[in-house]
Amino acid sequence: MLAAVRVLTRRAFSTAKPLSAAAQQMTVRDALNSAMDEEMEKDERVFILGEEVAQYDGAYKVSRGLWKKYGDKRVIDTPITEMGFAGMAVGAAMAGLRPICEFMTFNFAMQAIDQIINSAAKTFYMSAGVVNVPIVFRGPNGAAAGVGAQHSQCFAAWYAHCPGLKVISPYDAEDCRGLLKAAIRDPDPVVFLENEILYGQLYPVNDQILDKNFTLPIGKAKIQRPGTHCTLVAHSRAVELALQAAAELAKGGIECEVINLRTIRPLDVDTIFQSVQKTHHLVTVEQGWPQCGVGSEICARVMESETFFHLDAPVWRVTGVDVPMPYAKTLEGAALPQPHDIVTAVRTVLGGKTK
């Protein structure tokens, strides 16, 4: 029995290096929760709706305590009808409120994609700039663990395809706190793609991050780890994989620069270009499918820019396998990119040489 519990624990939670006792730490879950709490306290137009967000404190406890603090009018449990409550949220945004619409998983947001794209994303343009739609669609996105094909899909590339949306894919507590606050304050519709595996992960934070006025700019990437030999570009949990691969490669003298995209639309190509012009090599990393993926777009942007002439080797993509997510644990692991896949890609791109 104990062995089974250990297996489940390893399967369900991501692990991180322990921090010193003196360092401040915050889970991704608490970062999201505190961001919503502070923005609701600051602006009475902000409210939350979705399945189990109120009395149950959220399916993943991200909205824990908010119903007790703000009551039924501002934390609203909905029926299981994504099309219905997403439409209500979009209408509320058009009327001047600032809804946070939670999907239990973005796989279920497919039921509401007409409201997200045709109602939310296009209205500002179709109204000639008269009607803003200040709404945040948020919830877990991409692969979790052991939940099969219908609960494991990454929608970053789907939503990033659509003009009128801003698409955020945060990694750590700093990202989640600063970018969710910015998304809630933004006048346009924002798709905020979280990761279930990262909810319970602890990350270091400082007083600046914990400040109530802390926000991060939408559309600006972060250099998570500096390097000189190869650029690794990733988003969400793939940033963790890239960092692990970079640490392994560093043992052999290969220093990778890891870029945490943070935002998928608008895409911060300037940070990518500057890094590639320094390292002359590029590997993209994502858990989503390869065809028409985020990595594909990055490849195209590099090819269409002057940065292409700085490359010493072709761009390499590390992605999920081009199949529906298997349910079996071993096959699931094989369907997702692992740090050793990134290590192999970097060594292939470098051709066995370093500078």
Short-list 237, 249, 231, 212, CA closest to 311: 231
Q: Contact 297/157 with Cβ under 8 angstroms?
A: yes
240 flagged as catalytic: no
Set 39, 51, 82, 196: catalytic member: 82
Buried b (16+ CB within 10 A) or exposed e, 268-277: bbebbbebbe
Residue in 151, 229, 280, 281 annotated catalytic? 151
82 is known as an active-site residue = yes
Residue 350: alpha-carbon gap to chain centroid: 28
- On the 0-12 / 13-18 / 19+ scale of CB atoms within 10 A, 219 is middle
Which secondary-structure segment (H or E) carries 129? Answer: none
Q: Residue 246's closest CA among 283, 204, 198?
A: 283
**Judging by beta carbons within 10 Å of its beta carbon (0-12, 13-18, 19+), is residue 15 exposed, middle or buried?**
exposed
> Tell me, what amino acid is at 63?
S
Q: Which residues are catalytic?
A: 82, 151
